[in-house]
Structure 1
Amino acid sequence: MGAGRPGFPGGTAVSHLTVYDWPGTDGLAGGSPHLHTASGEGYVVVGGSGRLQTLSRDGAADHPLAAGTVLWFTPGTVHRLVNDGGLQIVVVMQNAGLPEAGDAVFTFPDDVLADPDRYAAAAALPGGDGDGGEDAVATAARRRRDLALEGYAELRAGGPAALDRLHARAGALVAAKAAGWRATWEQAVLAGVDETGRALTALARGDASHLAGASVHVGERREQPYRYGMCGRLRTWDVAALTG
């Protein structure tokens, strides 16, 4: 058995995002407002322009985005990408595997968030090979985005109490999944932290033998066509750790 492949530095995931240019109910083009319950997210803007709208205990804010902007935010931050023209982003996601496993929660209206079955139905997208093909997926993604915008408008009008309620709803929606995320986190993040700890201990006593295991790895595209995500069309790189 070989030594396997280490994951991308920091146990992060990397994807290329082309933000939706669909106009929303408020006339702004862009993606679906949502938050992450356990993972931070970072952006490196590589093309176009737009804004990131956020909502937190600090209130509502607009953050301009242009090529070269580097921006990140912590779990619980409600965020919505607005595409003012050709907005493309390299997304660096903390805790690779957790967002794909349901770490993200849409800002649907509260009555939908309060019902796990309704939430799951509203968040789901059909398979691209079913009736209607890709057009059906695009229609469902846009409908999902518009429902999230409906709840987002309520949040912005509702103040801190509405945000607290959203956080509580999000916690309830992911509670049953969170225990299963630990193994993913341990393999993707904690293992890397522990390895660095061992390296520092060795280096402090003058032992650099771990450097003999230096290696280079190339991530392959996980999806060939761009798929429909929360904020736009995206493709991810396969950069997860692989055991030997």
Structure 2
Amino acid sequence: MCEFEPGPAVALPGGIGISKLTVYDIEAPDGLVGGAPHVHLACSEGYYVVAGTGAVQTLNTKGYAETPLQAGTVIWFDPGTIHRLVNDGGLQILTLMSNSGLPEAGDAVLTLPPEHLTDRAAYLRATTLTGEGEDRTPSAMARRDLALQGYAVLRERYEAEGPAALDDFFAAAIRIVQPQLADWRKRWEEGARRLADETGAALDALAAGTAPHLQSAELHRLPTPTEFGRHGMCGRLDVYDTRAREARL
């Protein structure tokens, strides 16, 4: 018997978050097609390329790189890696994020020019999208193009100054997200940390020759995304929310 069971989140394995990303296919001022450069401060991100071709540009304290993407490619990178997706044609990606819930709760800061990073209010004024549905596309592209301006400056500064060129941006990003940290900690404690603790308890039980967790096993199912076509930083997102699931009892 399969019944719909809304309510408290049942985290995906390892406390990850997943979404299907269709990378923007609108050309940017520099002639490339794709998304907005940004950085995560607490979460690692992984890609499994479903279809199409393109590249991901990355910039961190180790330097700049451009990594080709094609169907079947898997890559991942740590928090602190500024990244920008470039779409050469039909690029679709299954994104995997650590600490399920944190990216959706704001664990991302766009590489805006410094005047938009002075405080959280200034950042939100520059990045909040307007309109609904398809009407959001123009403001999403304006936000992307603004982020590209700051990104270009960061790349130029890195060429001249090395890793220190990123210090001011990282410091500004930290200030912007600090008001969210109490919420982030709660989400982490209820998600990835809880699952890790449950694994530890299971190992302890197995070592003692018992396995009470085996008696409560279920199959969980998300038959379709819970939201289609959300305007994200890199493209349109089909989002999966584990609070709306089916459990086979």
Does TM-score exceed 0.5, indicating one fold?
A: yes
Could you state the TM-score of these two structures normalised by the residue count of structure 2?
A: 0.90
d(CA) in 2 for partners of 1:153 and 1:25? 11
Instruction: Give the alignment's TM-score, normalised by structure 1.
Output: 0.91
Read off the aligned partner of 2:152 and give its amino acid letter: A
Answering whether residue 144 of structure 2 is matched by residue 145 of structure 1, we say yes
1:92 matched to 2:96? The reply is yes
- For residue 226 of structure 1, give the secondary structure of its aligned residue in structure 2: strand
1:38-84 Cα distance to aligned partner (Å, 9 max, x none):
11111000000000000011110001100000100011100000001
Cα offsets for 1:172-202 (capped at 9, x unmatched) = 1111111221111111111101110100000
Where does 1:162-201 land on structure 2 (aligned, <5 Å)? 162-201=165-204
Q: Which runs of 4+ in 1 moved over 6 A?
A: none
Matched, 1:161 2:164: yes
Rate the CA distance shift 1:211–1:4 in 2: closer, same or farther, 3 A.
Answer: farther
Q: What is the identity, as a one-letter code, of the residue corresponding to 2:145?
A: D
Q: CA deviation at 1:241?
A: 9.3
Identity score, percent: 53
Alignment map for 1:1-16 (pairs within 5 Å): 6-16=10-20
What SS does the aligned partner of 1:92 have?
Answer: strand
Q: Name stretches of at least 5 consecutive residues in structure 2 with no aligned partner.
A: 1-6
Of residues 225, 230, 234, the one that matches 1:227 is 230
Deviation, 1:25, is 1.5
Matched, 1:218 2:221: yes
CA 1:10–1:240 in 2, change beyond 3 Å: closer, same or farther? farther
* Aligned 8 A contact 1:13 1:240 in 2: no
Paired amino acid for 2:76: W
> Which AA in structure 2 matches 1:157?
E
Distance in 2, matches of 1:241 and 1:205, equals: 35
- Whether the 8 Å CA contact 2:53–2:69 is kept in 1: the answer is yes
In structure 1, what is the Cα distance between the partners aligned to 2:9 and 2:175? 35
- The SS at the match of 2:104 is helix
- Determine the C-alpha separation between the residues in 2 that align with 1:30 and 1:36: 18
Matches within 5 A, 1:27-66: 27-66=31-70
- Cα displacement (A) at 1:226: 0.8
